[in-house]
Amino acid sequence: MNVDTGVTARLASLREQLHHHNYLYHVLDSPEISDEQYDALMTELRDLEGEHPELVTPDSPSQRVGGSTLTGFDTARHARPMLSLDSSARPEDLRAFDTRLRRAVAGIGGSPDAIAYSLEPKIDGLSAELVYEGGLLARAVTRGDGVVGEVITANVRTIRSVPIRLRSSLRPVPAHLAVRGEIYLPIQDFDEVNEALINEGKQPFANPRNAAAGSVRQIDPKNTARWPLTIYCYDVLDGDAAFATQSELLGALADWGFPVNQLNAAATDVDGVLAYFAGIELRRDDLAYEVDGVVVKLEDIAQRERLGATAHHPRWAYAIKFVPRQEVTQVLKIIAGVGRTGVVTPVALMRPVNIGGVTVSRANLHNIEDIERKDIREGDTVRVERAGDVIPQVVERVETGDDRGAPFVMPSECPSCGTPLVRRGPYTLCPNSFGCPGQLVGRLTYYGSRGGLDIEGLGEKTVSQLVERDLVKRFPDLYDLRAEQLVGLDGFAERSAEKLAAAIDASRTPTLPRFLTALGVPEVGPAVARTLARRFGTFERIRAASVEELDAVDGIGEVMAGHIHAFFNEPHTARVLDDLLDGRVSPLPEETVPLAGEQPFAGLTFVFTGAMAGFTREAAEALVQALGAKASGSVSKKTSYVVAGERAGSKLAKAQDLGVTVLDESGFLALLAEHGAAL
């Protein structure tokens, strides 16, 4: 057989398998192979592609960027890096930019007194790249990390203002074109979307930007289509088209049918820029979309190319931002509130004040260190800021109150459940994660959310009602609910009550990593959850692990180990977990884990080298460690076994030199089987 045909066929088969398992895992959430098996396929693919780089295809699963795939979207590299902008809210910084730029223009032989700026409202949305081939929308990609983003073509197709076919009546259509624009959700629609989400029992979005981001990243384009997203385009990243100026570029985009902001303008100096900026700020509240400033770009595109960019920003553009909206008012009282993650936060109750159209009477004081630094007490007059739609913040003390209270002291017990509070850095925490009523709604909501066990219908609004009506007093009560009890909750009739009851029922056998994530163990996100699951195998063993055992896991440091251990050993939490596991939830252990408890490899040291079909090196090391052995990176006389996979190198040679026992993969498997490790 021709070797190349063999390699090509194997590559095709590996890609097919990986695509399939990706889909099962990320989209359907029902994997058919273990993580180790998946990793082994990926290792083989990467190795083969490494030997035959000419055979790498852009759609190869190896071309995904680590981390981004959790969402189920493919990733793609941008035509050119999508940079962000240097920015400031201070006019003097804009002047400094102007001076720098004129000097740089002179430096490349241009005329510093003859420059012009394009001025564009800076929309607070989501940057995306739209790629057109032969005039047709071929691909849409989120900005991602600026170099690689997520492919969201199907979702972007549902945005009515995005042309699917470029208009050709005014200007010839280039064969290839990559355009950058800002996808956003108009403010009015944002309010409506949030209302609808609340009615469906789902979590509302914090601001229009998050709503837009959430919407374009829906797995099912039908969900994106429900929300009236739109776009303004402002840049050409790549393509068979050349422009002399930004205005010409914007004109061309409009000719091809892209929405281009009508408020875009031009100026020749800083005063002109600031006048435009002031005008936009005046109209800010009347605009249909969130604007957070003005983007200033050098008009001359040839000069831009020569000026280039720093690692993050083009040297030829700048964003001048609006100063956040602030007002001054008086602090009447400072209280401590428990948040949904157990963090106890000082909150200022204030004389109500109107900030940019919203009446504000509570503001966040963050944590005890922050209050102490700002020295804010009851009776003081403070400056309060409302930035975007986040909770208002106390920025600083403006005036000391006449009848100034004593410095605020954090309570020593949780205001909601009375448990003694613990200090973690600047934060104060109620450790009663699962027994504290102040945390119950938040924890349950997270448990049922998409990032948790994805219990359809168990949104915040529903959880709040369950808790208010005493249907759920403790976390495990969730699993004792009957459909009849749900009928009559807001938005629930018989059918929907049955559906929610069924969804709760279906969540009784989550995979171990998902369950860990859903519980909201401090610092345990999906990646750490998987590591823990691989290392310990069962929930019980993770719960029982000592700080030292947790600390010994790759990727878990001492501090994190301490937090995880404290979480599981808090007495109320432990009781809630006992009840949860007592016939209510049975997390499914990972496939490739040793049987409970035994340490048949205690005292042995393993070294892994080369590629194995069934394990990544990390997985193999975790496995022998779980069985009591040490895994080492280098071979010595003390090494018990060297396990050599394909293309093993110098470590194999050294083992042979030293007379250390060498196993191949099947020998390793046999050794595992001999010691009763379940695979």
Show which residues are catalytic: 122
Q: What is the DSSP string of 607-655?
A: EEESB-SS--HHHHHHHHHHTT-EEESS--TT--EEEE-BT--HHHHHH
Bridge-based pairing of strands 230-239 and 176-184 is antiparallel
CA distance 379 to 426: 24
Residues 6 or more apart whose Cβ sits within 8 Å of residue 162 = 130, 137, 140, 156, 231
The smaller minimum CB distance to ligand IVH, of residues 85 and 487, is found at 85
Dihedral sign (CA 418, 422, 426, 427): negative
- Least Å from the CB of residue 93 to ligand IVH: 15
- Least Å from the CB of residue 395 to ligand IVH: 23
Is position 317 an interface residue for ligand IVH (rule: CB under 6 A)? yes
- Least Å from the CB of residue 271 to ligand IVH: 21
What is the residue whose two structure tokens read 């779980």? 626
Is position 123 an interface residue for ligand IVH (rule: CB under 6 A)? yes
Is position 183 an interface residue for ligand IVH (rule: CB under 6 A)? no
Is position 140 an interface residue for ligand IVH (rule: CB under 6 A)? no
- Least Å from the CB of residue 216 to ligand IVH: 13
- Among the listed ranges 195-203, 251-259, 313-321, 482-490, the one in contact with ligand IVH (CB under 6 A) is 313-321
Site string for ligand IVH, 32-71 (x = CB under 6 A): ----------------------------------------
Among 127, 215, 230, 616, binds ligand IVH (CB under 6 A): 127
Is position 314 an interface residue for ligand IVH (rule: CB under 6 A)? yes
Among 64, 78, 122, 565, binds ligand IVH (CB under 6 A): 122
The smaller minimum CB distance to ligand IVH, of residues 273 and 365, is found at 273
The smaller minimum CB distance to ligand IVH, of residues 233 and 486, is found at 233
The smaller minimum CB distance to ligand IVH, of residues 85 and 349, is found at 85
Burial of 498 (0-12, 13-18, 19+ CB in 10 A): middle
**Phi and psi (nearest 5°) for 215?**
-70, -45
CA distance 594 to 615: 14
The smaller minimum CB distance to ligand IVH, of residues 40 and 123, is found at 123
Burial of 634 (0-12, 13-18, 19+ CB in 10 A): exposed
CA distance 9 to 15: 10
Is position 535 an interface residue for ligand IVH (rule: CB under 6 A)? no
Do the Cβ atoms of 537 and 531 come closer than 8 Å? no
The smaller minimum CB distance to ligand IVH, of residues 319 and 532, is found at 319
The smaller minimum CB distance to ligand IVH, of residues 245 and 531, is found at 245
CA distance 394 to 371: 9
Residues 6 or more apart whose Cβ sits within 8 Å of residue 371 = 334, 346, 365, 407, 408
- Identity (one letter) of the amino acid at 181? G
Residues 6 or more apart whose Cβ sits within 8 Å of residue 2 = none
The smaller minimum CB distance to ligand IVH, of residues 295 and 382, is found at 295
CA distance 383 to 327: 6
Torsion of CA 121, 124, 126, 128, to 10 degrees: 10
Among 49, 120, 129, 590, binds ligand IVH (CB under 6 A): 120
- Least Å from the CB of residue 289 to ligand IVH: 10
Q: Which of residues 211-240 bind ligand IVH (CB under 6 A)?
A: 234-235
Among 250, 253, 319, 577, binds ligand IVH (CB under 6 A): 319
Among 8, 60, 69, 84, binds ligand IVH (CB under 6 A): 84
Bridge-based pairing of strands 325-338 and 343-355 is antiparallel
Angle between helices 187-199 and 208-216 (to 10 degrees): 70
Polymer length of the chain? 679
- Among the listed ranges 77-85, 215-223, 505-513, 668-676, the one in contact with ligand IVH (CB under 6 A) is 77-85
Among 74, 129, 150, 182, binds ligand IVH (CB under 6 A): 182
Is position 295 an interface residue for ligand IVH (rule: CB under 6 A)? yes
Q: How many residues bind ligand IVH (CB under 6 A)?
A: 14
Among 83, 96, 355, 481, binds ligand IVH (CB under 6 A): 83
**Closest alpha carbon to 234 in 271, 296, 186, 179:** 179
Is position 258 an interface residue for ligand IVH (rule: CB under 6 A)? no
- Among the listed ranges 81-89, 106-114, 386-394, 669-677, the one in contact with ligand IVH (CB under 6 A) is 81-89
The smaller minimum CB distance to ligand IVH, of residues 246 and 639, is found at 246
- Among the listed ranges 122-130, 214-222, 323-331, 333-341, the one in contact with ligand IVH (CB under 6 A) is 122-130
**Closest alpha carbon to 180 in 109, 253, 124:** 253
CA distance 608 to 616: 10
Name the residues that contact ligand IVH, by CB under 6 A.
Answer: 83-85, 120, 122-123, 127, 182, 234-235, 295, 314, 317, 319
